[in-house]
Amino acid sequence: MKHREIQANGITLHFVELGEGPAVLFCHGFPAIWSSWKSQMDAVANAGYRAIALDMRGYGRSSAPVEAEAYTPYETVGDLVAVLDAVEVETATVVGHDFGANVAWNAAMMRPDRFTAVCCLSVQYRQPGGPSFLDKLRAAGKDQFYWFQMMKPEADQAWADAATSVPGMVYWSSGEAPEDTRWNPFDTSRSLLRPAPSDSRTIKSNSGYIAETVAVFESTGFHGALNYYRSIDHFTQHSTAFAGARIGQPSMFLAGTLDGLNLVAQPNAESMRSNLTDLRSFVMLEGVGHWPQLEAPARTNESLIAFLQELDEETTMSESHALSPFASLKINHSAIRVPDFDTAATWYKEKLDFRVKQSLSFAGLTFAFVYPAGDDGFHFELLAGPGAEERPPYKDLHDSYKMSGWHHPGFSVDSVDDTIAELKRRGATIVSEPHDVTAMGLRVAFFADPWGNLFEVIQQIGK
C-alpha cells in the first residue's frame, strides 16, 4: 500500500492507494480511519481496481480544523475532488460508510462528472433542503437522539478514553450485541459509550484495526471527528440550492438488518428509488449491525465487487458498441395498425391519457403520432384505415405466446398495481395481473387494446 499526503483546500490530506484500474474512493465514518476499509481495498485491488482510502479531514494523519463549519459537504466533497486530482484520476466510484456515506452521497449529488457511481453502507441518502432533520426531531421531543449528544462541546471529553470508546462503539452498534442492550440511537441508556465485553468476537476479529484506531485517537482526540455532527445545522441552512436533488448515477446501498440506524428509517428499496433514480443494488445483510465492512467483510466485498463489475461490463459494452456502424440507432417510435383512426385515438386518450400531436392522410390511410402522458421521447404511430385483417384480442398471456413476430412494448411505471387498478377502472382489458419476476428484479403486468396489441407495465423492485 502506498501512503501519500497532499496540501489541498488549506489542509493536509492523507490517503492510501492500492492496485491499478478504475478508481474506487473510500470514505470512512465515525470514529474510524482509512484502514477500516483495508479488507475492501484488498478485495477490489485483487479484482482489478485502484483502491484509494483517505483519512477524512478531522481524522488520523489529515488535518483537523477547529471550526465546525469546516466539515460540511462543501469542504469534504472538495477534499475528495482534490484527492482525485492529485492521483490524476478523472472519475471514480465513491464508497462511504456512516458519516462517510453522507459525504459520498453528497459527492455524487454535487459532482456527477467526477463521481460516476456511488455505494454507501449503513446511512441512507437524505435530500438537502426542506425542514431540517434535527428540527423535526426537536419538534417531536426526541432530543435524546444521539446526534444531539455528539454535537455538545462536552462530547470531546466523553469520547476521550479511546481504549474504551472505540471498541465500545464498534461492539454495541454491531449485530453481536444482545438485542435488549444493543445501541439504540434514541435511548441514552443504550448509548455507544459503554465498555465492550472482553470476549467479543467482533472486537477480536478486528483486533489489529481496533488497536490502530485507538492509538490514532489517543494522539488526535475526537474534536475534529465530532465536528461532522456539529456541522449538520450549518449545512442545512446553506444547502437550499440543492433542495430536492436526486442522484442519477448507478448506486448501491448495503446495510445490516440489526443496525440501530434502522430505527430512524427502515431501509426500503422502493422508497430509495424516488431519490436514487438508478439504484442498482440493495443489500441487507442478516445478523449484521452498523459495521458491515468489519462484521461481514466477505459478504460486503462480494456485493461491492458485483456492483463494480456490472459497471465495468456496461463501460466495455458502450465502448465496443460505439465502434459499430449502427451506433446511431436509437428507438424512436413503433407503429400500430388499426381499422379506424377516431376509435383508436379515443381509446388511447381515454384509457391511457395519450396525446395526439401530429396526423396526416395519405393513400386512404390516416397516420398519427400519439405520445404517452409524460414522455415525449417515444411515441406510437397509428396507421388507421380500412382493409386491415383483424387480430383476435388477447385475454390470456399464454395465448399470446402462440403468435410469432412482434409481441409487446413495455412501459416503466412507479407502481404496477396502481396502474392496473386505474386501467381496470377505465375498462381496459387486463391480460395478466401484477406479479413479480424476482430473478429480474421486476414487477410486471399486461393489458391489451381492442385490436390485439399487447402492452406490459414494469416496475423495478428491490434486488
Is the distance from CB of 58 to CB of 156 less than 8 angstroms?
A: no
| CATH 3.10.180.10 domain locations along the chain | 330-389, 407-463
- CATH ID of 2-319, from 1.10.10.10, 3.40.50.1820, 3.40.50.720, 3.40.50.880: 3.40.50.1820
> What residues act catalytically?
98, 229, 290
Look up the pTM and report it: 0.72
- The reported pLDDT for the residue numbered 462 is 59
Average pLDDT by stretches of 10, the chain with 463 residues: 97 98 98 98 97 99 98 97 98 98 98 98 92 87 92 97 98 98 96 96 98 98 98 90 94 98 94 94 97 98 96 72 73 90 94 90 88 89 87 75 83 94 96 88 92 91 61
Which DSSP symbol is given to 197?
A: P
pLDDT for position 316: 66
Q: CB under 8 Å to 359, separation ≥6 — which residues? A: 341, 366, 367, 368, 369
Secondary-structure class of domain 407-463 per CATH: alpha beta
Four-residue CA torsion sign, 203, 209, 212, 215: negative
**Cell numbers describing residue 32:** 474510524
Residue range(s) occupied by CATH 3.40.50.1820 in the chain: 2-319
pLDDT in the model for residue 463? 44
Alpha helices in 5-128 (DSSP H): 38-46, 73-86, 99-110
For residue 397, the model assigns a pLDDT of 80
Tell me the CA distances in angstroms from 137 to 99, 102, 148, 150, 430, one per residue in order.
19, 19, 10, 15, 46
| Residue 69 one-letter amino acid | E
Residue 388 confidence (pLDDT): 80
Superfamily of domain 330-389 in CATH is: 2,3-Dihydroxybiphenyl 1,2-Dioxygenase, domain 1 (3.10.180.10)
